[in-house]
Amino acid sequence: MIKANDPSLKSWIEVDKNSDFPIQNLPFGIFKTENNKPSVGSRIGDKVIDLSALYVLGYFKNLPFEQSDFKSDALNTIMKKGKEATTDLRNRLSKLFNIENKDLSNNNHHVEQVLIDVEQVEMLMPVQVGDYTDFYSSRGHATNVGTLFRDPANALLPNWLWIPVGYHGRASSIIPSDQMIKRPKGQTRPNDDQDPIFGPSKLLDFELEMAFVTFDGKPLGENITTEEANDYIFGMCIMNDWSARDIQKWEYIPLGPFLAKNFASSISPWIVTMDALEPFKTKGPVQDPKVLSYLEYKGDFHYDIDLEVGIIPENSEETVVSKSNYKYMYWNMAQQLAHHTVNGCNIRCGDMMASGTISGDEPSSFGSMLELSWRGTKPIKMKDGSERKFINDNDTVVMRGHCNANGVRIGFGEVSTKVLPAE
């Protein structure tokens, strides 16, 4: 077991029992305060930990980092140092904030420089994303989409059980939680026997996804096996992969999604490390037909992470519209990474790979409005009496995720995005 994951650990920083951030989490993110430049941070309870300050005060001795690695506007600087280095860094934080360690806690002058109230920081994009790939790895979601748009009897396309299907997305429009988006405009064809029209999307949707970020991979021409995959993945966040269903329907043939997907993908700002997620591993589904050998894997690569989506209409209260779980994935991260690189495609530090919409079998666990409202035929009731088939102007969509095991709860916080009207 990784020492920093020990369920018995307690911090000298107070942590509410429902917090996503006990000492067993120690995620990484980029934060900014009013008068200071962006910096690498971690978090316990409602305190953000300034890693740059810890470095300057001498608490990171014998770790392979420099100050510029922490006085940085992206986690890429620490990720560049590789898995062993970031594991050691998290372990050092675990030691410093352990209730039994007095090195830092006894020095009030230092504590003042290192800890900041979470209300006083702005969380920024955690990673400079080079390339973004979106998979399509939830069987429930692929089945629902196939049923809605093609043929219920043959909902899954013939390749789906053989290939972790994916496409190359757009990195430039990945944004952090709390950044508002405008309703996208584009071409749609509402009526199949008329010409297309131009205007604001009428079928704006969320996609409940999780994403992982990579360390530096291997050079072009080499591949990463399922057994090696764990060494190349830094951590995960929640992603709302915004989608304009009406634009998508008209444009996607034959090359797949384009403008329907590249106007925004919102992520939660804390990257929870694969180390921290280790205790929450769970068995994956039986894969039948048996996968080709490069997709075989040993051990567990699925994770039991409870996910939920809420919609907050303007000046109103939130209605939770979906409760899903990351364990519903058919293809796991090791298989996705092995497949992505099996042709020799190189992976770079800070690449982001998303799961695809995560839907379980139950209608209450569907991960998009397209599925929840069954293509608009079953409107969802909000607590304020209004109904939703898709997302309205001025709605805020919130996604959250957390895991529970051995009396420890760790989580991702949330990704929250308000939709402004099209201009």
Catalytic residues: 141
Name which of 131 and 241 has its Cβ closer to Mn ion: 241
Size of the site for Mn ion (CB under 5 A): 3
Minimum Å distance from CB 43 to Mn ion? Answer: 27
Inter-residue contact 242 to 201 (CB < 8 Å): no
Name which of 271 and 358 has its Cβ closer to Mn ion: 358
Minimum Å distance from CB 135 to Mn ion? Answer: 8
| Binding-site member from 20, 131, 241, 395 for Mn ion (CB under 5 A) | 241
DSSP annotation of 153 reads G
Minimum Å distance from CB 113 to Mn ion? Answer: 41
Inter-residue contact 60 to 121 (CB < 8 Å): no
Name which of 134 and 246 has its Cβ closer to Mn ion: 134
Token look-up 């043959």 returns 154
Name which of 81 and 183 has its Cβ closer to Mn ion: 183
Q: Which two tokens stand for residue 309?
A: 């989506």
Name which of 133 and 273 has its Cβ closer to Mn ion: 133
Interface region with Mn ion, contact rule CB under 5 A, candidates 176-184, 195-203, 237-245, 306-314: 237-245
Minimum Å distance from CB 254 to Mn ion? Answer: 19
Contacts of 4 (CB under 8 A, 6+ apart): 23, 24, 26, 90, 91, 93, 94, 275, 276
Q: State which amino acid sits at residue 85.
A: A
Q: Residue 271 burial (CB < 10 Å; 0-12/13-18/19+)?
A: buried
Segment 27 to 66, residues that bind Mn ion, using CB under 5 A: none
Interface region with Mn ion, contact rule CB under 5 A, candidates 14-22, 79-87, 238-246, 374-382: 238-246
Segment 169 to 228, residues that bind Mn ion, using CB under 5 A: 207
Q: Reduce the DSSP state of residue 412 to 3 states and report it.
A: strand
Token look-up 């895991």 returns 403
Minimum Å distance from CB 417 to Mn ion? Answer: 15
Q: Which two tokens stand for residue 301?
A: 């690569």
Inter-residue contact 398 to 312 (CB < 8 Å): yes
Q: Residue 122 CB: number of other CB atoms within 10 A?
A: 13
| Binding-site member from 20, 134, 308, 371 for Mn ion (CB under 5 A) | 134
Nearest to 244 by CA among 373, 370, 378, 395: 370
Segment 257 to 316, residues that bind Mn ion, using CB under 5 A: none
Inter-residue contact 27 to 43 (CB < 8 Å): yes
**Residue span 135-164 as binding mask against Mn ion, x where in contact by CB under 5 A, dash where not:** ------------------------------
Half-sphere exposure of 175 (CA within 13 A, CB side): 15
Name which of 42 and 324 has its Cβ closer to Mn ion: 324
Contacts of 408 (CB under 8 A, 6+ apart): 5, 7, 22, 24, 279
Please work out, in degrees rounded to the nearest 5, the angle formed at the alpha carbon of residue 81 by the alpha carbons of 216 and 67.
135
Q: Residue 288 CB: number of other CB atoms within 10 A?
A: 7
Minimum Å distance from CB 145 to Mn ion? Answer: 11
Name which of 20 and 241 has its Cβ closer to Mn ion: 241
Residue showing the smallest CB distance to Mn ion in the complex: 241
Minimum Å distance from CB 354 to Mn ion? Answer: 6
What is the contact surface with Mn ion in residues (CB under 5 A)? 134, 207, 241
